A and B are shown apart, each in its own frame.
Chain A
């Protein structure tokens, strides 16, 4: 059975803690991610935004920023992919590329960056851009930003480090490359002062897409997250995205499309499995991103009841076959090439 016959599964942790009785301690989150790893899920996505308003007061925010949390989780897991959201408004592209390159080495090649194409007014207000960006500017800026980050991730060849003590050659200067980017919004010389990723490059997960963003996603993303929608609509979207991926000259398997699913808590396990199977077999996506609160009980229901059913039906692999996030997702080297 080929790779395409099995679905990819991610879980997204909501940034709020739904149950105020549960301490959002690191050890609690570590247990959650370890459970997801024991279940063989492809990756956990860590959100990084505050509750939208006081109306969410029942959700106390997690006390952690996502990239710092990812670094900590990387030291208590060994297989599962770890993807952190990080805003293109909150970080300079050099700093963001560097943070994720470092995370990827800390995690031994299990890191991804979840970038959103949607502008968050809360961030522009707190990052000295109160006027925000026009949607056209923001789209061009995000596209330029992503190309800088992916370019910086390629700055050191995989065999650049020599560690030659007696010859006095730490690295091969020919295998270190300047980016020398000068664009509409940024100019970045490079290279990063972090070594090449153990998985070639961190995985780029794109979300928050609207229609005009689809070609950018098709060119650059490794994983695309789509909002939950009726199955016919989803099929059309998936087919459209694959056409765009092919039009960019990329292999169809180089981009995985995952459908967000947020309604599993209210359904019976067999019904959840049925619905995932139906969506997957109808070719509406390559897998699913299950959105849930950071509670072990929510994960237990999915892992202990739904997952065995999917495995029984041959829809999800029994265990990890590799050690990097790219290997879990069936992706070759870094995106955008």
Chain B
């Protein structure tokens, strides 16, 4: 018997099977397929809300920091030790020369130390004579950097010290060479430092040897740009810049960087601290003047 034929005489068996008009898809499949799209939308929403400043993310962030910082601290020490050991073996033969150099340097520094003590005493007596109101005394907390996860787009590091160690928001953070950044988030046992090279970092500075004030803006690269400079300010390569203390956020006089390029593209400053390889840093807990903090950061550009 021949197969069933349709109206035009074509055997049904040769025709492509007709799809049902409405394909029924189980609800579970729909949910599974839609999940990534929903999550991507959720991520975008979170980012936009965060950008608009309406997302109270800081408490969540500090909670995550508080939990992870001790773990990271425990792990980062041996990792650093391992890297140190590897480079240590390589430099073993240089050890003797290094030792001699350090002895000589120590002898030289000892003389400077004595000179500094003398000058300190002299300075104090002059201050008393002139009745100068001294800057508030600074205290320090030293901490090891436990994470620099920000990477390419966010220049920040995590420290395993927080509110319990009297770290405050907006405290200055220093390495041995100079200013590293300022504290932007404080948890109970951890805090985040925004580095001076981050795009969101703007620091009021003064160009040393002049009385010119400017804003040192991070650009997410290795160098920072001096902005809001007065026209024809005559910057020269090699000049140092330090914090001006304007705005009351950071203490005045902390060394920040050196001018490395002056061109039509602007004045560029290289940080004194090696921000790529931060190991130990100091958080400055200066008792800052709250009256200054409310003041306007007045740029010296005549505007």
A binds B: no
